[in-house]
Structure 1
C-alpha cells in the first residue's frame, strides 16, 4: 500500500490511539445517517466506499492465489455481517455499551486454548463488566444487547479469518477484495432499506466520511504501527477501544452511561488488556 508520508516520525503508540479514535468517531458519525438510510444503508456505504478506496490503494497487490480467494470472500461476508449487527446494535443501545459487548469476541479468542491460572480471573472480570453494563436505571433494550454480542461473535471470526488471509496473501490486496465483496453483499440490503436516499449528495458525503474514518484511516495507521511495535503491546492498546467508544458516545452523541455502566466498561477493558498481556507473555 502507498505509505502515508510523514507517519514515520509519529510514535506507533500515537498511531494506534489515533486509529481507535478514528473508528469510534466514525461509528458516532454513522449514527447520524440512520435517520436517512438506516443501519443497513450506512453499512453499505461504509463497505462500498471503503472497498473502492482500498482497491485503488492496493491495486498493485490485487493478484492473489486461487487458494486465498475463498478465504477473502468468507472474510468479506463476515465483515459485512459484523458491521450490520454492530450498526443495528448502536441504533438501539449506546455506542460505548455496544463496543464493550462486541469486544467480548476478541477477548474470547485471547482466552481460548490458554491454560494460564489467571485466565478465569479475566473471564470473571469480563462477566462482571457485562453484568454491570446491562444493569440500567431504565429499560434495557435486549435486542441491542444481543446484536452487539452477535457482532462480537463475528469479530472473533474476523480475527481468525484475518490470520488465515494473512498467511495466504501479502500486503492489503486480500483485505481490499474482502471489503469490496462485503459491500456487494450489503448492496441489496442497503437499497431495500434506503432506496434513492443513498444517492443524496449529503448522504454520500457522510457515507464516504464514515468509510474513511471507520475503515481506511484506522487500517492504515494500525498497519504502520504494527511495523514498529510488538503485537503484544498493540493488543493491549487496542483494549482501550471500549473506553474510547464510551467517550465518543458521550462527547459526540450525548450518550450518558451511569456509574455502574462505566465500571462495566472499565472491567472489560481491564480483562481484555490483562488477557492479551498474559497470553503474549
Structure 2
C-alpha cells in the first residue's frame, strides 16, 4: 500500500479500531459481573481509566479557569452516571441492544441542534428502530423492562455528556478527558465499593479491571485523536455509527448473546439514523472520547 493511500486509510482504520476496542473492553468487563456486579465493574473500569489518563496526560500541567471548573464537574458527573447506568443495563439486556438504545441520546442532541427537513427521515428511522426494541404492546416480553430503562437513562446522560462536553471543547482534549474521567471516578467508585466491597481488591479482578480500562479508554481515545485530525465530522460520525453492530457481533461471539431478526433490523435502523444525522448535522468538532460510554 502506497504511503498516500495509507494516509487516507489510516483514520478509517483508527475509528474502526476504536469502536472495536470499546466493544472488546465491555465484552470482557461483562464477565466480571458474577464476581463484583455491574457497580463494581463500573468502578474498576472508570477508576482505572481515570488513573491511566492522569498518568498519560498529566492535566495539572495546564491552568484551569474558574468558569471551566463547574463545566468539567457537570461533564464528569454525566460521564460517570452514563457509564454506571449503561453497565447496569447490561445485566439483563444484550450488549448490542443496550448500545443501540443508548445511541438515542446523542442522536436526539444532534437532531435537536440541526432541525433540517431531512432530519425527519433520521427521526423516523430512529423511532422505527426503538419501536422494535422497547418493551410495549405486543413486544412487551421481548426485552427486560428494567434493563431497557437503564439504557434509556444512560442515553439521557450521554446526551448531557455531549452538551457539557461542548462547553469544555476549547480545552486540550487530554486535559478535559483526564479531569472529566477523574470526576466520573469520584462519582461512581463509591457505588462499586458499597456493592462489591473487598472483592474489588482481588488481584485477578484488579488485573482484569486494568486491562478493561486500557482497552476501553486509553486505546480508543488515542485512536480517536488520530482520526479526528484527519477526518471530516460527517465521516467520523458515519464510522462511529457502526458501534451498535460491532457491539452486537462481539456480544454474539464473546458472550453468546443471540439476537432475533427484528432486533438486528432495529440495530440497522438506528445505525442508519446515526449515520444520516452525522452527514446532515451542523459542522461542529466531534467530541473526543465519544466512545467513553462503553
Give TM-score, length-normalised by structure 1: 0.92
2:50 alignment partner in structure 1: 51
Deviation track 1:9-37 (CA, whole Å, cap 9, x = no partner) reads 97100000100001111111111111111
1:165 and 2:168 are equivalent in the alignment: yes
Aligned with residue 143 of structure 1, among 124, 137, 146: 146
2:185 alignment partner in structure 1: 183
1:113 and 2:113 are equivalent in the alignment: yes
Matches within 5 A, 1:96-111: 96-111=96-111
Deviation track 1:133-162 (CA, whole Å, cap 9, x = no partner) reads 246695520111111011111111111111
Q: Answer yes or no: is the 8 Å Cα contact 2:114–2:282 preserved in 1.
A: no
2:243 alignment partner in structure 1: 241
1:254 and 2:256 are equivalent in the alignment: yes
1:152 and 2:158 are equivalent in the alignment: no
Structure 1: where are the runs of 5+ without partners? 1-6
2:32 is paired with a residue whose SS is helix
Structure 2: where are the runs of 5+ without partners? 1-5, 284-294
Matched residue count: 274
Deviation track 1:75-99 (CA, whole Å, cap 9, x = no partner) reads 1111110001000001110001000
1:172 is paired with a residue whose SS is helix
Q: Answer yes or no: is the 8 Å Cα contact 1:63–1:173 preserved in 2.
A: no
Matches within 5 A, 1:1-281: 11-59=10-58, 61-134=61-134, 139-167=142-170, 169-280=171-282
2:89 is paired with a residue whose SS is helix
Q: Answer yes or no: is the 8 Å Cα contact 1:55–1:62 preserved in 2.
A: no
Q: Answer yes or no: is the 8 Å Cα contact 2:52–2:218 preserved in 1.
A: yes
**Shift of residue 265 of structure 1?**
0.3
Distance 2:212 2:152 in 1: 22
Distance 1:123 1:10 in 2: 31
Distance 1:46 1:62 in 2: 25
Distance 1:201 1:10 in 2: 40
Give TM-score, length-normalised by structure 2: 0.88
**Shift of residue 126 of structure 1?**
0.8
